[in-house]
Amino acid sequence: QLQASGGGLVQTGGSLRLSCAVSGLNLDYMAIGWFRQAPGKEREGVSYITSSGRKTVYADSVKGRFTISRDNADNMVYLQMNSLNSEDTAVYYCASDLDSDVEAGGLNSVLYDYWGQGTQVTVSS
């Protein structure tokens, strides 16, 4: 129901745009979050966007560098990642749950019921 894509290998300072294609969910009610997991580390919340797109939240580690957006008409959510560095290297996942649950819990991954497979982002120095 969620499929992330757009990962790859990029040099430090470069940019990537991740895409999350959503199917089988009514995006009019669903927030979408992006998470990442680096080797040996716990899964980390990166950003989420509410169903209307009016509210976005970012982890401190990506504020000012990443931008989340969505196109409900096309059932797509995007994560524009700029000024990438080695600490951004991870598998990135998109996930979804109801606006109400997400706004109450923020970037807590346990709150999200629907997950896609990950896409690998590797930033080389």
**pLDDT tens track for 68-82:** 999 989 999 999 999
Percentage of the chain modeled with pLDDT above 70 = 100
Q: Is the pLDDT of residue 125 over 90?
A: no
Contacts of 22 (CB under 8 A, 6+ apart): 1, 2, 30, 32, 75, 76, 77, 94, 96
Name the residue with tokens 């580690």. Answer: 61
**pLDDT tens track for 1-36:** 899 999 999 999 999 999 999 999 988 999 999 999
